[in-house]
Amino acid sequence: MSTIKEKLPEEFKKEMKELLKDEYEDFINSYDQDRTNAIRINDLKVEKKFFEESNLFDIDYEKDGVEWADLGYYVSSDKSPGKNPLHDAGAYYIQEPSAMSVVGKTDIAEGEKILDMCAAPGGKSTYILSKLNETGILVSNEVNSTRIRALGENLERFGATNCTITNSDSKGLLTFFKGFFDKVFIDAPCSGQGMFRKYEHAIDDWSEEKVEECVSIQKELIRDGFDMLKEGGMLIYSTCTFTKRENEDIINDFINEYQNAELIEMDRIWPHKQRGEGHFSARIIKSSEEVREEEIQENSNKKSKKSKKKKKESSNSRKQDSQKLKDYESFLKDYIRDGSKRKNAISEKAVEVKGGFVYLVSKDMLDLTGLKVLRNGLLMGEIKKNRFEPSHSLAMALCIDDVKYAVNLDIEDEDVFRYIVGESISLEGKEVYKYSEPDTEDNNSRGWILVTINGVSIGWGKESNGIMKNKYPKGLRRVIRK
Ligand code: SAM
């Protein structure tokens, strides 16, 4: 059986030899080493302390931190982090360590408006959400309508609240978001040379033609992304490939063409120098907005007409919605704790009702009518006949302190597996919390209960006569038993 090193394409080796010179031997020998794996803690749902105390995956917190990612830790692949139920609960995200550098090395301030243009499956988006800390706006876009499913699931599992998921190409986004964002991330489709050690099929998929094809897409994406930045905003371009043609050359050609593009830095992570599979990133500032005066005038007229129309329409629909929202409001009153972090966040957002579904949307979000939107903000739930059914997304964004009732399962408890395969669970003899304190009342029909594993929310259950019906979504249930 041939080794990865032996399978590497000749054209690739030749180009790397020219690029790396004396370092080439070290680079090529890195293919004899094991690939690197890492997780990133989701600090929106758990504290770092939780990981240190539980010592999940035998991480040495002194030694195993990913240098460029404050929440990233190397894990050995035999620990199978993807199989642990805390992964289903969104306590961490599994991400290739060098890919963490793109967001890890970017300063993100709370309140920023950010676009992640090529977002699936969500590695960069989830990290951006951590840095935004439930403020600002993230538009997480994916052009591929199959890959967008995984993006939706990963963002939901992460407990995303301030995120809009769109399914568009860059031109489609540009018609809505010209000059809107503080930051635009373009994790561009690339020829994937940095994946050779991770997936051998990436070697078979690679070709010179693929490089050329990617270069032409990358050139288009970077221009459109730049146009969506505000003046002073930053574009972050990245790939997981090594060739200069998809990295430095793209950036240099771009800054030569755009007078208002100021290159801040280009950064490489190499597998023979650092613990990672390799990544390229560049940061560019838009120093000024080169928009013609008449274009600004035209845009602002269009916007104000649109917003007047939107205001009129929204005041009409608000009247109809307020009737429909009665059951939603009773749910909030009955099950979400006043003064909790989530309840306060709810009051800062706009409520939108679409096709019977209730969403919480940032008040700064634009009218996206005409854009393919998978989810705009946090899906709170569905208005059904005479009742409101809270969504799984809401459960994932809640913690014990936010809700009236919660049941906390220990990771070793057999009921964890019962829950993630979709079985009902008897609550007899189980501690149920009421407003974070043990519930001492004689009540075995409490209704909606947040289910948590070691304190991390994983979904809803609904209790009636001491039995908690399982509300974990069918599509997410595991089919295997322990
Ligand atoms: N940022 C993702 C993450 O961290 O998990 C990985 C993104 S992957 C490197 C590149 C993505 O670009 C793919 O999901 C692919 O479907 C998308 N893509 C491909 N062609 C595109 C195009 N013409 N415009 C925008 N995105 C494209």
From first to last of its 482 residues, what are the pLDDT tens digits of the chain? 778 888 999 999 999 999 999 999 999 999 999 999 999 999 999 998 888 888 889 999 889 999 999 999 999 988 999 999 999 999 999 999 999 999 999 999 999 999 999 999 999 999 999 999 999 999 999 999 999 999 999 999 999 999 999 999 999 999 999 999 999 999 999 999 999 988 888 999 999 999 999 999 999 999 999 999 999 999 999 999 999 999 999 999 999 999 999 999 999 999 999 999 999 999 999 998 765 444 544 554 555 455 555 555 555 555 566 777 999 999 999 999 988 888 888 888 999 999 899 999 999 999 999 999 999 999 999 999 889 999 999 999 999 999 999 999 999 999 999 999 999 999 998 999 999 999 999 899 999 999 999 999 999 999 999 999 999 999 999 986 54
Every domain of the chain with CATH number 3.40.50.150 lies at 4-286
pLDDT of residue 144: 98
Q: Decide whether any atom of ligand 1 lies within 6 Å of the 121 Cβ.
A: yes
Distances (CA, A) of 160 to 7, 199, 359: 41, 29, 13
Every domain of the chain with CATH number 3.10.450.720 lies at 318-476
What atom of ligand 1 comes closest to residue 102's alpha carbon?
4
pLDDT of residue 292: 41
State the burial class of residue 477 (Cβ atoms within 10 Å of its Cβ: 0-12, 13-18, 19+).
middle
Find, among 196, 156, 179, the residue nearest to 45 by Cα. 156
CA of 174 to the centre of ligand 1 (A): 17
Alpha helix positions (H), 272-413: 293-324, 326-335, 341-347, 392-396
Residue type, 470: N
Buried b (16+ CB within 10 A) or exposed e, 342-352: beebbeebebb
pLDDT of residue 319: 58
Q: Which CATH class is domain 4-286?
A: alpha beta
CA of 186 to the centre of ligand 1 (A): 8
Q: Do the beta carbons of residue 473 and residue 392 sit within 8 Å? A: yes
pLDDT of residue 137: 96
Question: Atom 15 of ligand 1 has which residue's CA nearest to it?
Answer: 189
pLDDT of residue 479: 85
* 105: Cβ contacts below 8 Å, ≥ 6 apart: 68, 267, 281
State the burial class of residue 468 (Cβ atoms within 10 Å of its Cβ: 0-12, 13-18, 19+).
buried
Q: Decide whether any atom of ligand 1 lies within 6 Å of the 217 Cβ.
A: yes
Question: Atom 26 of ligand 1 has which residue's CA nearest to it?
Answer: 118
Q: Is 282 annotated as a binding residue?
A: no
CA of 269 to the centre of ligand 1 (A): 20
Q: Do the beta carbons of residue 191 and residue 212 sit within 8 Å? A: no
What atom of ligand 1 comes closest to residue 122's alpha carbon?
5
pLDDT of residue 300: 47
CA of 472 to the centre of ligand 1 (A): 29
Q: Topology of 318-476 in CATH? A: Nuclear Transport Factor 2; Chain: A, (3.10.450)
The question of whether 163 is a catalytic residue gets the answer no
- Residue 33 carries which DSSP code? S
Q: Which residues pair with 235 in a beta bridge?
A: 184, 284
Q: Please tell me which residue in 163, 190, 214, 240 is annotated as part of the active site.
A: 240
Query: What tokens does 186 get?
Result: 């373009």
Best probe residue, ligand 1, of 143, 214, 279 (max atoms within 8 Å of C-beta): 143
pTM here?
0.93
CA 469 to chain centre: 29
Q: Do the beta carbons of residue 129 and residue 95 sit within 8 Å? A: no
Q: Is 142 annotated as a binding residue?
A: yes
The C-alpha R_g of the chain, in whole angstroms, comes to: 24
Q: Decide whether any atom of ligand 1 lies within 6 Å of the 170 Cβ.
A: yes
Q: Is 124 annotated as a binding residue?
A: yes
SS3 assignment, position 482: coil
CA of 131 to the centre of ligand 1 (A): 21
Q: Decide whether any atom of ligand 1 lies within 6 Å of the 187 Cβ.
A: yes
pLDDT of residue 346: 84
Q: Do the beta carbons of residue 334 and residue 404 sit within 8 Å? A: yes
* 314: Cβ contacts below 8 Å, ≥ 6 apart: none
Best probe residue, ligand 1, of 93, 118, 240 (max atoms within 8 Å of C-beta): 118
* 248: Cβ contacts below 8 Å, ≥ 6 apart: 266, 280
Q: Decide whether any atom of ligand 1 lies within 6 Å of the 147 Cβ.
A: yes
Query: What tokens does 289 get?
Result: 């907005």
CA of 155 to the centre of ligand 1 (A): 16
Instruction: Report which secondary-structure segment, H or E, holds 54.
Output: helix 48-54
Q: Do the beta carbons of residue 470 and residue 424 sit within 8 Å? A: yes
pLDDT of residue 457: 97
What atom of ligand 1 comes closest to residue 220's alpha carbon?
23
The strand pair at 113-116 and 137-141 is best described as parallel
Instruction: Report which secondary-structure segment, H or E, holds 424.
Output: none
Buried b (16+ CB within 10 A) or exposed e, 294-311: eeeeeeeeeeeeeeeeee
